[in-house]
Structure 1
Amino acid sequence: MTTAKISFREISKTYPLKDTVFTALDRVSLDIADEEFVTVVGPSGCGKSTLMSMAAGLVEPTGGEVLVDGAPVTGPGPDRGVIFQQYALFPWLTVRKNVEFGLRLAGLAPEERRARAERAIELVGLADFADALPKMLSGGMKQRCAIARAYAVNPRVLLMDEPFGALDALTRVQLQDQLLHTWSQERRTVMFITHDVDEAVYLARRVVVMAARPGRIHKIVDVDLPYPRTEEMRLSPEFSGIRAEVWHSVYHQAPAA
């Protein structure tokens, strides 16, 4: 494996309660390689989103450190694109203007903004809707717009927190394939949080299974399946075996010592 793009080193996060301290994360260590696609799955309350938010620079650890390209994360930065379950699009701006928004904040010239936005919109298959307002888009199209906005600023790392969680099953599968197609072209490093075991296995090279109370890494499962992933692969014995391993790791964990 190549040099780590993202490194979590002995990460802990605690929150004071009335009479005690709640430990959300307990000494979590994990390396994610450059251009690797890693999914993180686990029971509710295991700290998946907190861990991702630390990589984004939105939450500070109580102990340990997060590194990106060997440098400590001290806050948000353009090298990391963050995509949440909520689309957070500006309803009065078109798809193109939403995608250009971060580029305008970065001070890029109009011509450069337009070129980058159009490339990102093309990548996610929304070229025919570039001038549409969000109210004209389906839920899946809105999420593709959010992904395009993250891609447009050219981050080397994509941090995705259950981006397809609110979508229907068919749209979810379609966007999984769209995301993998885009990733195969761009080869960014992806950390993808999900509750869905099938999604976790289908997308990833490795699935990180977390345990709760305190949040910690329970198991890391290698997904020894080639890219591109296909619908036939979802039905294969190999996929079923990996899915069963992840499922058992998530839902049949022994309680913390």
Structure 2
Amino acid sequence: MTNGTGMNNKISFQGVVKTFPMKGTDFTALDGVSLDIADQEFVTVVGPSGCGKSTLMSMAAGLEAPTSGRVLVDGRPVTGPGPDRGVIFQQYALFPWLTVRQNVEFGLKLASVPAEERHRRADRAIALVGLDEFADALPKTLSGGMKQRCAIARAYAVDPQVLLMDEPFGALDALTRVQLQDQLLATWSREKRTVLFITHDVDEAVYLASRVVVMAARPGRVHRIIDVDLPYPRTEDIRLSAEFRQIRNEVWTSVYHQQPAAPAA
């Protein structure tokens, strides 16, 4: 299943199969997943527990390798992690002894970026996520939402073309979650990265994305791809609109009322 954009694809999953050894046999986490994501597109992936959402993202990040098939970024096979892809997990993974600025600079320091350039890029990323006033604060003084904004700033600082986000707002309260969704979209509208965003929340999937990929479980497959024909910028009025409810109900039904996979012959 593709987006029909041909050479504009930023990420391509081509017949991806992923198996894991389990109790003397192989467990198939993903079975023949093909999906194209266009440059600067915001795609969310949602599905029932065990559908392989996080495995899909890990392969795009280069943290897992396909058992068969290929994952491409910019037409090149993914063979490991790289600075062209920023990865953000649900856990903040901040260094507690470093300030916000030092956390954001960490990847740049590993890449041997000179100090002056490092500071400039870190300060810009911190401003993008609205943490200017907390640049010198330690993580223990930040709320959960602020810690996640710091993690997002760290990913932006290395200037990736692709953002891979695995349920980054899943551990946050409902109000903070909505606020960070709006801030993420505001940042994306300015920066125009390609975003692959994994979530278990149907409302979040619809609100953020131009397309929602619905996965089927066990083994993980692309069940449906649903276009979200709602304008950007997204607003509270859009959340309350009949059009949003209609798409949300379509995604919900696709996720939670799937027919079980046919048993293997």
The residue that corresponds to 1:6 in the other structure is 11
**TM-score, normalising length: structure 2:** 0.96
The residue that corresponds to 1:85 in the other structure is 90
1:1-257 equivalences in 2 (<5 Å): 1=5, 3-257=8-262
**In 2, Cα distance between the equivalents of 1:7 and 1:34?**
11
Measure how far apart 1:18 and its partner are. 2.4
**In 2, Cα distance between the equivalents of 1:59 and 1:17?**
17
Measure how far apart 1:15 and its partner are. 1.5
**In 2, Cα distance between the equivalents of 1:226 and 1:238?**
11
Measure how far apart 1:16 and its partner are. 2.1
**In 1, Cα distance between the equivalents of 2:56 and 2:218?**
14
**In 2, Cα distance between the equivalents of 1:236 and 1:17?**
46
Unaligned runs of 5+ in 1: none
**In 2, Cα distance between the equivalents of 1:182 and 1:88?**
21
Measure how far apart 1:20 and its partner are. 2.7
Moved more, 37-46 or 10-19: 10-19
Measure how far apart 1:19 and its partner are. 4.1
User: Match of 2:157, as an amino acid?
Assistant: A
What is the DSSP-based 3-state SS (H/G/I as helix, E as strand, rest coil) of the residue aligned with 2:171? coil
* Residue-by-residue CA offset, 1:91-113 (whole Å, 9 max, x unaligned): 00000000000000100111000
**In 1, Cα distance between the equivalents of 2:248 and 2:27?**
31
What is the DSSP-based 3-state SS (H/G/I as helix, E as strand, rest coil) of the residue aligned with 2:223? strand
**TM-score, normalising length: structure 1:** 0.99
Q: How many residues align?
A: 257
* Residue-by-residue CA offset, 1:186-206 (whole Å, 9 max, x unaligned): 000000000000000000000
Moved more, 86-95 or 9-18: 9-18
**In 2, Cα distance between the equivalents of 1:161 and 1:38?**
12
User: Match of 1:172, as an amino acid?
Assistant: R
* Residue-by-residue CA offset, 1:180-233 (whole Å, 9 max, x unaligned): 000000000000000000000000000000011100000000000000000010
Unaligned runs of 5+ in 2: none
**In 2, Cα distance between the equivalents of 1:5 and 1:61?**
18
User: Match of 2:203, as an amino acid?
Assistant: D
Runs of 4+ in 1 over 6 A off after TM superposition: none
**In 2, Cα distance between the equivalents of 1:216 and 1:154?**
31
What is the DSSP-based 3-state SS (H/G/I as helix, E as strand, rest coil) of the residue aligned with 1:158? strand
**In 2, Cα distance between the equivalents of 1:90 and 1:131?**
13
Measure how far apart 1:21 and its partner are. 1.9
Measure how far apart 1:22 and its partner are. 1.0
